[in-house]
Amino acid sequence: MVVPEQYPDRMVFENQHGELVELECRFRPSKGNTFVQMKDGTDVQVSFDIAFPDGTPSILLGTVFNAINERGEIFIYQQQLLSFHVGAFHCLGRC
């Protein structure tokens, strides 16, 4: 039996210093109709929940990223990070 990798996907973005950053993660389609309210008051529907391993550095909200799956294919292109939370055992994001 093959056990799938816990964080098979990668998030790729430019940080505030212009350096390319690549982080391990797992994208999962969001359940239900979840919305995040932006600073300008508009509601944006969440498409994916993103799980990151413990120790992932904080990512600025509004960061534009690409998501790459385990086959090396881009499956999310130029999407904006809507939320990021550092938990006790892992970090969570939404886009």
Buried-exposed string 49-74: b where 16+ CB fall within 10 A, e elsewhere: bbbbeeebeebeeebebebbeeeeee
Q: Spell out the domains of the chain, with CATH numbers in brackets.
A: 9-94 (2.40.10)
Per-residue pLDDT of the chain (95 residues; tens, 9 = 90+): 445 689 999 999 999 899 999 999 999 999 888 888 888 888 889 999 999 999 999 999 999 999 999 999 999 999 999 999 998 888 999 99
